[in-house]
Amino acid sequence: MAHTLTTCMFCGVGCGVYLETSGNRVVGAYPSVSHPANQGRICLRGWHVHEVADSQDRLKAPLIKKKGKLQEVSWDEAFGFIAQRLSEIRQQHGPDSIAFLNSPRCSNEESYLFQKFARSVIGTNNVHHGTGVYSNNSINVLSEMIGVPASTNSIRELDSAEAIIVDGVDLVRRMPTLAGAVIRARVNGAKLIVVGTRRHRVAENADIFVQIRPNTEAMLYGAMAKIIVDRGLMNLGFIRQRCADYEPFLAELQYYDLLTTAEVCGAAPELIEKAALAYAAAKSAALLYSTSMEERSKDSIRAVVNLALLTGNLGKKGSGVFALTEQNNLQGVCDMGMLPDRLPGYQLVSDPGARARFEKIWGTKLPASAGSGARTVFSGNGVNKVKALWLLRYDPISTAFRDVASSLRRYEFIVVQHLFMTESAQHADVILPTSAFGEEQVSFTSTERRIQLAEKVVDPPAGLTPAWDQIGHIARLMGAQWEYGSAAEVMDEICEAVPLYGGANYANLAREYGRQWPCTKDRPLGTPFLFEENGNGHRFHFAAVSKPAGTTLPKEFPQILVFGHSLYYWNLNVLIRHSETLRREYRALWLDYPDGFVEINDEDAKRLGIRDGQKIRLSAASGSATAPARVTAEVMPGTVYIPYFMHELERQVFRAAPNDSNLVAGRIEKEAA
């Protein structure tokens, strides 16, 4: 028996958990009391992480598709085949005919080597983490306005926030430990303001719940800013000393007014006012929004940051902007440059100076134009351009894209690295099974910028190696001089390449509970919250956000259909199936609604005479479809929530029309039996 402190692999909170092992099996898991992110708590997933880690039902040998069937082959054959096919395809169609997609649950080391492989060995910027198609908006806005695309403060500091705004994300379902931190802060006296469309568990705990129509956040925050300015509650000292572009921001702000906002958002004006005053009155206030999976306009994020700047809620303990990365390593995957337009450390590929730095470190010439992201790769045009796809621990079919399965049939060559035979893996030409959580030492970076180690506690099944090692093997076969003896050595290179990670070598990470970046050579202990240094250091920028035009719904389509991406993410995740309790809890929805469901508000349902489970028809201008209704008070009246796995419904509603927006005006009615 042995107990090892490691990092949970499910969500972006990055809880410290101990794994208990007996022989070569993981037999238990429990939270660390001392870990600053979770302080003795973990969620249901964490309590069952050992069952997932101990799953015996794994891919154990490499497979190559021969005559349409996946067959076991030797490692050498698999590696050789990949190197040969990638070379051929690059030769024939050019480097940009190959795309590299990974999951935001991959480690820093494998993400770093994956994009390095794409950029330096193949010569393409077609690299992306597949899940967070919208996180680029957050990265770009935060980079523009505060210069750092990440949460500014630590989870633990929510204790000392006097007010907390939770925007949109259903924390109990998505990041339960963070939900707990928010609920406890509320119990201990913080004002909890929840903004969003759904009445989720955290909203039920709110002092002020501003339930708003989907995608009206920019309007709401603009109106709140206007109230704060009108009452003179802004922090002028902070603004004068540390912010730029205040005037243009004010110039746009004057067009906002409370009553129009209330109308557009569908919230009572008194409630909006109350929320604004509570936020402004707090000596320290935190604002949490999710960066990753739901569509989120740049303006709505600008409005969030404007509010924080206006009230001086940056650079202090407990007051900041939490740009939540929901998956365990979405932050790290972005930090490592799994972005089509940014190199590791967020430098733009278009910046010749940045390229020159990496060309020196990597010893090759790098492509200068931005690559294609996941969304483009899977779109009609993308499929025509991209011939080969490498999916690293990524199962796009079970995530948010429509019709990925049919796209996957059209690529010439697909490489999959994964633990399990996922739906996407069925389409692969080569599958490399990898070692799993608990079988390899790697690092993850949590939503509070905490770079921390996930430890090796058992040996992988015979023959299985870490994904980063497999990538290195193929790179060498393709002529690269890569020599990494361990993940720690990969991190040593990351320390050189990414200044924010400069001091994050494994020896340092192992000392306490990881380190929060910036963790530089001269500041190796890391940075719990950003911008502490006063005045002269950092300059923030307000962003002028024009008042959004309120949309009116056409008479025949009075409801808003919301095509969501994140809410039921875990319910379909492949890992969940490997624990009895998790499978039971997450599968219950499918047992109750075997044909899927769309969610409608209970009062709407009553008015339309719709019972739970009953089939309803959804119509939009572009098409219509039927689905069973899940009647719930969580959904806002007048909205219909369509989970991402209702692919067929989405196809029928949109038909040929592009669904670039996640919202569409529609109508629901009872479907005749």
- Judged by the rule CB under 8 A, the positions of this chain that interact with another protein are 1-3, 5, 16, 18, 20, 27-35, 40-44, 46-48, 50-51, 54-57, 172, 176-177, 179-181, 183-184, 187, 201, 204-205, 512-513, 580-581, 584-585, 588, 591-592
30, 18 in Cβ contact below 8 A? yes
CB of 5 to another protein, least distance (A): 5
**Strand runs labelled E in 161-267:** 163-167, 191-196, 208-211, 243-244
180 vs 466, beta carbon nearer another protein: 180
318 vs 514, beta carbon nearer another protein: 514
Packing angle between helix 467-477 and helix 75-93, nearest 10 degrees? 60
341 vs 599, beta carbon nearer another protein: 599
149, 528 in Cβ contact below 8 A? no
Enclosing H/E stretch for 474:
helix 467-477
CB of 668 to another protein, least distance (A): 23
199 vs 355, beta carbon nearer another protein: 199
Burial class (CB in 10 A: 0-12, 13-18, 19+), 261: buried
CB of 495 to another protein, least distance (A): 23
Going by DSSP bridges, is the β-strand pair 191-196/208-211 parallel, antiparallel, or unpaired?
parallel
DSSP annotation of 17 reads: E
34 vs 406, beta carbon nearer another protein: 34
CB of 199 to another protein, least distance (A): 11
CB of 191 to another protein, least distance (A): 16
CB of 652 to another protein, least distance (A): 26
50 vs 393, beta carbon nearer another protein: 50
49 vs 349, beta carbon nearer another protein: 49
Going by DSSP bridges, is the β-strand pair 2-7/16-22 parallel, antiparallel, or unpaired?
antiparallel
459 vs 496, beta carbon nearer another protein: 459
Packing angle between helix 135-145 and helix 298-310, nearest 10 degrees? 40
- Between CA 157 and CA 416 the distance in angstroms is 40
Which two three-digit tokens encode residue 618? 């959804």
CB of 160 to another protein, least distance (A): 16
**Burial call 409-446: b when 16+ CB within 10 Å, e when fewer:** eebbbbbbbbbbbbbbbebbbbbbbbbbbbbbbbbbbb
6 vs 115, beta carbon nearer another protein: 6
Tokens 């990949």 sit at which residue?
82
178 vs 498, beta carbon nearer another protein: 178
Which two three-digit tokens encode residue 495? 């320390």
31 vs 344, beta carbon nearer another protein: 31
CB of 451 to another protein, least distance (A): 17
Tokens 């410290």 sit at which residue?
16
C-alpha closest to that of 196 among 296, 91, 76 = 296
CB of 135 to another protein, least distance (A): 25
Which two three-digit tokens encode residue 255? 């067009």
CB of 446 to another protein, least distance (A): 17
CB of 47 to another protein, least distance (A): 6
CB of 216 to another protein, least distance (A): 26
Which two three-digit tokens encode residue 313? 């809620």
Burial class (CB in 10 A: 0-12, 13-18, 19+), 461: middle
409 vs 584, beta carbon nearer another protein: 584
DSSP annotation of 11 reads: B
CB of 571 to another protein, least distance (A): 12
- Between CA 325 and CA 13 the distance in angstroms is 8
C-alpha closest to that of 338 among 520, 569, 103, 97 = 103
SS3 assignment, position 591: helix
Q: Which amino acid is at 142?
A: L
Tokens 């077609």 sit at which residue?
126
Enclosing H/E stretch for 602:
helix 602-608
Phi, psi of 515 (to 5 degrees): -135, 145
29 vs 467, beta carbon nearer another protein: 29
403, 647 in Cβ contact below 8 A? yes
130 vs 176, beta carbon nearer another protein: 176
515, 495 in Cβ contact below 8 A? no
- Between CA 515 and CA 511 the distance in angstroms is 9
CB of 391 to another protein, least distance (A): 25
